[in-house]
Structure 1
Amino acid sequence: MNETRHTRWIQAVLMITVVISVGLLVRVAQGKQAAEEREQRLFDRTQNPRAGIHVPIYEATSSAGEAVRLGQPEPGTRQVLLFFNTTCPYCLNSVPTWNALTDLADSRDDVTAIGVALDPRQA
């Protein structure tokens, strides 16, 4: 009789352990799925930019005196923005590459390359 009670107690403890384990596995799976969904949303945001998401919409004036709206390209087009500092050696060394990119962008109707110089001497 005592052995039967002991066996039932062990079975009950094992059943509770199995139920708790299954609950924990379900919770871990839900957390993993939520993390994967957040990762996918972040990936989508970086691959499918929307107006103002990466660069706040900002009105500026070009060196030619024309109004330029950064962060909101015309429909069907894209803007490639280069922010650089005129005293940064890396920035200055990358100018030839950006000039080549600008030439390529100028040959297309759907891309506009815009350089934004940050000159501390003018700040």
Structure 2
Amino acid sequence: MSYAPSLFGDNAPAPLHTPASTDASFQARSLLDLLYDGFFMLFLLKNGREPESAGEFGTRIQEFLSDFERGAKKLNIAAEDVYAAKFAFCAAIGEMVLSSQFKIRTEWERRPLQLVLFGE
């Protein structure tokens, strides 16, 4: 059975164990902790886990980044650091999708998340 974070959609089962999702006492203490599920998703993309829809995938990533930003504010992390982390994360996603043979690649080329969120 393949496991994927919720960024892939409702039909994907939750990972067996991630600190962010299974340990009620886990508290994010850094940007790295806040991006845990995102890094796991990047790992899955790199290993061929294909999103079903570019639109839904982009929306889920935007929701994830909104949660990330809220978590960073709770930790009093500098806005510049949060912006840079979001930008780098979106760039990594773009590279993964554009260097793949995924069905969403063509649509992602026309409307990458970095362009949507950052105008670049």
Q: Give the alignment's TM-score, normalised by structure 1.
A: 0.25
Structure showing the higher strand proportion among its residues = 1
Larger radius of gyration: 1
